[in-house]
Structure 1
Amino acid sequence: MTEHSKNDHRILVLADGDNVAVIKATILAGECIRLRGHDVVVPQTLGLGHKLAVENIPAGRDIVKYGFPIGFAATDIPLGTHVHVHNLSSRYTQVEVME
C-alpha cells in the first residue's frame, strides 16, 4: 500500500514530506476520513483548495506544502485540522500592530 492510498480520495498530498494536503472536493463537518492510515473526524466543513493537516504539527514547526515551507504553525495543529491564517504564520511578512 502506498502512502497516497492511505488517504481519503478527496485529498491530495502534493509532495513527499508535506504535512498538509490540498482538498479536492468538499468534506463535511463531522465526516470521518482516512489520513495516512488513520481514521479522523474533520471538525468543520472544508471546500476545494483548502489545506488539511495530515499529521500533528506542533507550534513553531514548518508547514510544508509541495515540498517547501509556506509558513509555520502558530499553534499546535492536530491531524485532520484546517490549516489557514488562523493557525499558520508566515516567516516572510510581519504584521504590524497598531495601538
Structure 2
Amino acid sequence: MAKAPANTKEEGHSSYGFGSRLRVGRHVANDALLINIASILWAFDLQSMGGRISSATDFVNSGIVMRPAPFECSFKPRFPEIPTVLSAVMELHDLRIGDM
C-alpha cells in the first residue's frame, strides 16, 4: 500500500487539511460516510445500466479535485418496506427531498 501524504495523520488524502490545520472533525466525517454508504447498500440493490461496470481507475481529474467518471446505475429497493422506512426516517428528522 502506498504511504499516506506527509502531515495528514495517515488519512491517505489531504481532504481534511495538513499538519496543525488538520480538521478535528475528520473522524466524525469518516464515520458519517461509513454509515451513509452502509445504509445505501442495506436498502438498495445497485445495478449498472450501461452494461459496463466502472473500475476504480475510471476517474475525472480536473486538477486539485478528482471524482469518479460518470456512470449510469439504478437503485432498486431490496425489500418492499424500504419506501416506508425511508419516509419515516425523513419525517422523524424533518427532511424533504431536495434538502440534502
For Structure 1 versus Structure 2, the TM-score category normalised by the shorter chain is under 0.3
Higher RCO structure, 1 or 2 (CA under 8 Å, sep 6+):
1
Structure with the higher strand share, 1 or 2: 1
Tell me which structure has the larger Cα radius of gyration: 2
When normalised by structure 2's length, the TM-score is: 0.19
TM-score, normalised with respect to structure 1: 0.20
